Each structure stands twice: as structure tokens, then as C-alpha cells.
Amino acid sequence: MKTRFLLRAAATAILGAWSACAFALDPLSYAKYDQVKTSALHMDLKADFARKTLDGYAELTLDWLDKSATTLDLDTRELSIAKIEAQDAGGAWRAVRYTLDKFDPEKGQALRIALPGQPNKVRIHYRTAPTATALQWLTPAQTLSGKRPFMFSQSQSINARSWVPIQDTPAVRFTYTARIQAPEGLRVVMSADNDAKATGKGGWKFTMPQPIPSYLLAIGIGELDVRSLGPRTGVYAEPKRIGAAEYELADTEKMVAAAESLYGPYRWGRYDMLVLPPSFPIGGMENPRLTFLTPTMIAGDRSLVDLIAHELAHSWSGNLVTNASWKHWWLNEGFTTYVTTRILEKIYGEEVATMNLQLEQEEALEHLKTLAKEKQALVTRHPDTSSEHYTDEELAYPKGAWFLRTLEQRAGRAAFDPFLRGWFDQHAFQSVTTEQFVAYLRANLLAKNPQVMSEAELDEWLYGPGIPASAKLAVSERLARLNATTAAWLKGELDTAQLPTKAWNAAEWMKFLNDIDNKADAKRLEELDKAYGLAKTGNNEVAFRFYRASVHAGYRGIRPNLEAFLMSVGRQKFVVPLYAALRANEQDRAWAERVYKAARARYHPETQASVDKQMNKR
């Protein structure tokens, strides 16, 4: 049996290597990167806050793979193209012909450039639209100081095309340089080498020497201060937030060292972070050299630093080894979620890591109840390659991590840790598919340890719905003890004032609020609020769960605080479920619509689109 397994593993390894060159083109991109690839990008852009545009040019250095190809197809969305030039053999720039295809709501427009031969460089002169899906332009009133405007990008997953004409697919990696002009008094930062001492005279200049995919292109412009956290770590934030950010992120240098001890050297030079205004739509974005962070992770007690560990972990899983298309999203997020737990354990101990992991798995099981089965696989086998058949984005995080944890538990860390580090080392700065990982798994772990997972179970984890019955749920002793307390409180056997909350950490509060959601009535929620001030807590993860449980219970005494929260926080993880809960109750619906009407302009376009769907449901 073992000999047969070794032979099969060798064969699949060969097929996996072949598939690295032969996998299907990304269906969410117009680029024909089997013919020509971008190897380098230079941007020269001017930020105009009055018009809410970036204006200038992008210069692409090209690597021609098909010697007969003479057309360059790029991804764009709402870009105004002024002219396109190609560089001839003598170095002169000459205008070339181009066309823009019909606009597609999901993919934007294909920009098709007809070229004389195969030039080394092409330059596109263009201007972004004020409605660019990647960019949010904030008025001074939407910032902490109220004095200067702010702009930031969110390119993932296919929004880079709305501010740069590019091959907008994770299958293509390139280095980049940039010169950005911005109004005086505003600092520009990018996912590149940020010089804390730069003044911006002559334009802000950047270099990203490591090749990245387009979704990791990032820019931020605003009134920013900077603080050092260690020899290779620092944080940028608005001046009024920089002190709190510096305190909250103090352990970042330790996290980098912990990750390196597990998975090899950090290969990106510096690890800096940018704390954005509250409208940032997600928790964090792993832009290399400059992670973008939501201010909602600043709790004042470092209780939500697992978010930092997660974004740092992307420096190996996602940034270093990247999913080749968004169909394989779990290769980025599932791996990163697993690595996050290992970093937390290394720094804060096994109990803290296990508490976070149990909460993550329990919430995943609850989320599964809301999903159609076809959205529950880590990767789809559906013949239609459109994104509607991809796995649920939220589920990919915990399910992918659970799969890797299962392999680790059965193989043992002595075998699994070198296996995972080898995956990162052997595929560094490459874009990969699930098929490649499976080939690597069979050849480098299962061939020597066939008892770890059968082919049937492997298939179930990757392509089946839900979480396999063989999976083990993480169990924290502290959270297990909390179950009895929660049950007694729900039965009325334990008064609200008797809850042992002084010993609770954030994870215990989150589990308690999850477990009483849709079980406690308005009176009990009001008791909790009066006893512990949950509607005013500085921990946004706790606040969100308390608001959600209160809405479900019909406790409307939280409305002033909830309205302030919805008006100031744009993180989709929080606002979308809260609006959904409010819309579900007829007595809350009109109030929710009024609040959203006032708050909508403060949200990022992605958040607006998500809440708009909720509001349009009948």
C-alpha cells in the first residue's frame, strides 16, 4: 500500500508541476497572460481631491511569452484613457491604437492595445473616475482632525483595475515604482518602501523590489504621523490616533520574530502598518510592507491583536505564495488563519490561542447554517468558472485553517511544520492552485504518512460541503467553564450582577454574547448594559455582538449608541449583519433606513454595495 502511494504521489507531483504552467486563465480577468506578462509597473500620478481623481500615466514593462502575439489586453474599470504609447527599439514613444470593450458590471472593460511587434514598454495616460471602486475620498469632516481630506485604496480582489490599467489577476506578479503628487501637508504612503523622513518635495517616490500581484497595489494619502515600533516595524496614523496605535501595536516586532521562527525569514524588508479612518471596509489588508488596518481593532488593552497576527501571517501565505485565481481563495485565507493561531500561541500561550480558535470554529459552524451547500466547498468543481460558484469568502478562513490543523494534529508538528515551511520556501513569489498544493501534499506529507488522511477524506475537505465529521473542535478549558455560567444566567439561576466578568477577557465576552444571542430577552440585555456598559465598550468586537443580540431581543435602549456606531464605523463585518438584523424586524426597519441614509456617504463603496443589497430585500 505504501509503495503504491509513493508511486501515485510521484505521478501527481509531476502533474502538479505541469499544471503550474497549464492552469486555466483567470475568468475574472481579460488579460491573456499566457501570451504576455507585466514584469514591472511604474506609476506617475497626481491626486486631485477636488475632482476625486488620480491623473497621469502607468508604464508597463512586458515579458512576451508568445512570439506571435501583438495585442496587449488589460483590465480597466471606469478609466478615462487619453492616449497610449509604445516604446520603439530606439527608445522613442509612439502612439498606438486601442479599443475599450463593452462595460461588464463585474469585470469592467477590457482595454485592447494593438501593438507594432512586441515592444518592451507601453505607457497608458489616463484618469480615474470619482466613483473608482478601489478608492475612497474622505472629506475633512470624515477625519479625526476635521482639517484635511484623506484617500485610501482597497484593491482586493479585482478593484486595482479601477485605478491602474493592469493585468488585474493574482496570476501575474510584477515589481513597481511610483511618483505620486499630492496637496501640500498630506503624506503619501504605498505598499512599498516608505521613507518616514521623506518630505514629498518633487513628488512622493516609492519602490517595491519584490514582485507582487495587482490586488496588493495600495495607496493612502492624508494627514499622517509615524512612530517606530522596532528595528523593522512602524505605524502610520492620523496624529490624534498615533499614540493609541503605537500602544496597541507594541508587540508587532515580537510577532514578526515568532512567525520567522516557524516559517522562515520575513522577505519583505520592513513591516509597517497604516491605521485608516473608520470607513475602511475590512479588518485589515495585507498590503506588503504596509498593512492597512481598521481603527476598530484599537481596544485600548491589546485584546484584538489577533488581527495583526493575521495580516502579518499573510507575509507568507498570500503575499509570498499567492492563489493563482480567486477560485483558490482558501490558499490565501485558510493558510493565513492557521498561521495566525500558531503565532498567537507562540507569543501569548496555548490557552489564548485555543480560546480564539474555538470561537472561530464555533462561529464558522453557525455561519454554515446560512449557506447553500454549493458555497461550502473550499474550491468548486463546477464547470461554470464564474465567481458565483466560488466558495463563500467568509467560510474559507476557518474551514481552510481547520483542514490544515487536522493535518497537523494527525501528522504531528515534527512532520507538519517542515512540510508547511517547505511549501512557502519552494513556492515563494509564485501564484499557485489547489491542484498544486494537493500534489505537494501527497508527495511531501502523505507519501511518508499515508495514515494522516485518505483520498476520500481529502476530497471531502476540499470539495465537499460543511466541515467533515472527523474534524475535532478546539476546546478551551476556560470557555468550557463559561458554558455553565451562561446556561445558569439564561435560566435565571444566576443574577446579572453575579456574572464573574472581572476575570473575563475579550474572547470570553464574545462567546458569552454569541451564546445568548436570540435566547435572552430585552430585559436581560438591558440588565447587561446597565451593569457593564456594553453599549459603550471600546472593544468593537464585543460591542458588535452586544448590539446584534440587543437588536434580536428588541432592546431599543441601545439605539443612540448603535446609531453612533453605524455612523462612525464602516467595517463590513459589523455594519452589514447589524443592518440585516434591523431590517428583519418590522419595528426597526424604518429606523435602520433612516440611519443608513445619513451614514451611507461615510462608507466605502464596497460597504455601500453590501448594505444596499440588504436594504433592497423585500
585-609 burial: b if 16+ Cβ within 10 Å, else e: eeebeeebeebbeebeebbbbbbbe
Q: Which of 397, 547, 555, 579 is catalytic?
A: 397
Q: Amino acid letter at 214? A: S
The dihedral region occupied by 12, where left means phi > 0, alpha psi between -120 and 50, and beta the remainder, is alpha
- Provide the angle, in degrees to the nearest 10, between the axes of the packed helices 572-584 and 540-553: 10
- Averaged over 336-355, what is the pLDDT? 96
pLDDT score, position 382: 80
C-alpha cell at 53: 481623481
CB 575 within 8 A of CB 607: yes
pLDDT score, position 15: 34
Least confident of 4-8, 550-554, 595-599: 4-8
- Structure confidence at residue 13 as a pLDDT band (50, 70, 90): very low
- Structure confidence at residue 618 as a pLDDT band (50, 70, 90): low
pLDDT score, position 381: 87
Q: Which residues contact 32 (CB under 8 A, 6 or more apart)?
A: 25, 69, 71, 73
- Structure confidence at residue 544 as a pLDDT band (50, 70, 90): very high
pLDDT tens digits along 67-106: 999 999 999 999 999 999 999 999 999 999 999 999 999 9
C-alpha cell at 243: 499614540
**pTM, two decimal places:** 0.91
pLDDT tens digits along 223-275: 999 999 999 999 999 999 999 999 999 999 999 999 999 999 999 999 999 99
Strand, helix or coil for residue 395: helix
CA angle, corner 61, sides to 45 and 273, nearest 5? Answer: 50
The span from the CA of 152 to the CA of 218, in Å, is 8
- Structure confidence at residue 23 as a pLDDT band (50, 70, 90): low
- Averaged over 57-73, what is the pLDDT? 98
Q: Which of 85, 311, 435, 526 is catalytic?
A: 311
- Is 311 annotated in the active site? yes
Query: H-type helices in 298-412, by residue range?
Result: 306-313, 330-348, 350-368, 393-411
425-449 burial: b if 16+ Cβ within 10 Å, else e: eebeeebbbbbbbbbbbbbbbbbeb
Q: How large a percentage of the chain has pLDDT more than 70?
A: 96
- Structure confidence at residue 487 as a pLDDT band (50, 70, 90): very high
Residue 4 pLDDT exceeds 80: no
Domains of the chain (ranges; CATH) run 2-23+324-463 (1.10.390.10), 24-141+148-212 (2.60.40.1730), 477-615 (1.25.40.320)
Q: Which residue has the cell 507519501?
A: 447
Half-sphere exposure for 91 (CA within 13 Å, toward CB): 0
Kindly report the average pLDDT of the chain as a whole number.
93
The span from the CA of 494 to the CA of 503, in Å, is 16
